[in-house]
Amino acid sequence: MGVLRFTPTGWKYVKITVKIPMPKPLEQLDMTTLLQYMLTLGYEIDMIPTDELWLECDNQNDIRLYEKDFPDFNQREWYEIDHQPVFI
């Protein structure tokens, strides 16, 4: 997923979408499911692909897993990699 950036119009579409019954309850909704559902509704989502390291981090357990699986990877580098935002 990466870094997300919502335009004001895109955020309006998110607010509309979360009022519609979705595959997961709002309390359990993750960004991947939200964006996939918005695509099925016909919303266009622009993105900028990257060849850089990408790890999806939804919670603290993900961080612990990455720290275990990538012990030599400097967590600070996560913030220094030149990621481009995803636009809706």
Query: What is the distance between the alpha carbons of residues 10 and 49, in angstroms, rounded to a whole number?
Result: 19
pLDDT at 46: 86
Read off the tokens for 86.
């995803």
DSSP three-state, residue 83: coil
pLDDT at 39: 95
pLDDT at 25: 86
Block means of pLDDT (10 residues each) for the chain, 88 residues, are: 80 93 85 91 86 74 82 57 42
pLDDT at 63: 79
DSSP-assigned letters across all residues of 15-67 = HHHTTS--SS-GGG--HHHHHHHHHHTT---B-----S------SHHHHHHHH
